[in-house]
Amino acid sequence: MRGLEGRRAVLTGATGGLGSAIARRLLDEGASVALTDVDEGALHALAGSLGGDTSVAVLDVADPDDWARTVEAVRDRWGAAHVLVNNAGIGSLGTVETETRERWDQVVAVDQLGTWLGMQHVGPLIEESGGGAVVNVASILGATGGLANSFSYAAAKGAVRAMTLNAALHWAQRGVRVNAVVPAFIGTGALLDRYGGSERHRAMLANTPMGRLGRPEEVAAAVAFLASEDSAYSTGSEIYVDGGWAAR
């Protein structure tokens, strides 16, 4: 893959199963990666396990002050940023009737507001650094009816897709490409620990045309492609890593 050697990337939600797979793939492709999340101990453990050129920053993606500090730390460390991967996210199983206002606010703060703040703070540094890419991690639940629950998550991830299109047009002639990856159900350790063998797990498999969960590495490959110069003429686009969900 071309275009990631020597590039500086900021990754949110780095310590989860999907985040760590994305970090590993970006490092394998030659990028330096600023690992961010809310758990400092987990961040340092991840950095130690990955090796490569990494930095660590505790970041609540819903906090503008945290974003400002993170950008300054990246600027001080590397003097540039070329890639932002907005991966941090939380979910909820509430339906349109059962979701609570408190949980709605939490999910929207991380999944939607956090994605906007990431673009708002890191996008200008990417432009200043000579251009690069933003990759937003959306979800098949923001593109389809899913399993008829996870209402707040679906709303927030649908907004991520819309924000991706809008930001892509905003930066189209300024060197910053903005694209999205749209995964379906990915078999991270956290998902399998919570749902493995359950009725929900069986529903995930039954509604996936390929009949299996995705692997974190499969999403990471799509992220790396959109972050690299191999996708230099792509902005405002989406890659579905969904086992056929969007084709149903």
The b-or-e profile of 68-100 (16+ CB within 10 A means b, else e) is: eebbebbeeebebbbbbbbbbbbbbebeeeebe
The C-alpha atoms of residue 141 and residue 117 are separated, in whole angstroms, by 22
Question: How many DSSP H helices and E strands does the chain contain?
Answer: 9, 7
Pairing of strands 8-11, 238-241: unpaired
**What does the alpha-carbon distance between residue 30 and residue 53 come to, in Å, rounded to a whole number?**
9
- Give every CB contact of residue 62 below 8 A, 6+ residues apart in sequence: 109, 110, 113, 114, 117
Burial class for 203, CB neighbours closer than 10 Å (0-12, 13-18, 19+) = middle
Assess whether pLDDT exceeds 90 at residue 190.
no
pLDDT of residue 224 exceeding 90: yes
**Span 189-211, average pLDDT:** 90
Amino acid at 156: A
By annotation, the residues acting in catalysis are: 153
Q: Which residue has the tokens 């937003």?
A: 136
Adjacent-strand bridge partners of 136: 86, 180
Output the CA angle 57-230-170, nearest 5 degrees. Answer: 65
CATH architecture for residues 8-187+217-239: 3-Layer(aba) Sandwich (3.40)
Q: For the residues 46-65, what does the mean pLDDT come to? A: 97
pLDDT over 80 at 228, yes or no: yes
| CA 205 – CA 185 distance, rounded (Å) | 9
Query: In 155-174, which positions are buried (b, 16+ CB within 10 angstroms) versus exposed (e)?
Result: bbbbbbbebbbebbeebeee
How far is residue 226's CA from residue 50's CA, in Å, rounded to a whole number?
A: 22
pLDDT score of 240 more than 80: yes
- Residue 186 is predicted with a pLDDT of 94
Report d(CA 91, CA 224) in Å as an integer.
24
Integer Cα distance of 130 and 224 in angstroms: 19
Question: Which of 32, 35, 30 lies closest to 15 in space, CA to CA?
Answer: 35
Express each pLDDT in 2-42 by its tens digit.
679 999 999 999 999 999 999 999 999 999 999 999 999 99
Tens-place pLDDT, residues 201-223? 999 999 999 999 999 999 999 99
| Residue 1 clears pLDDT 80, i.e. is over it | no
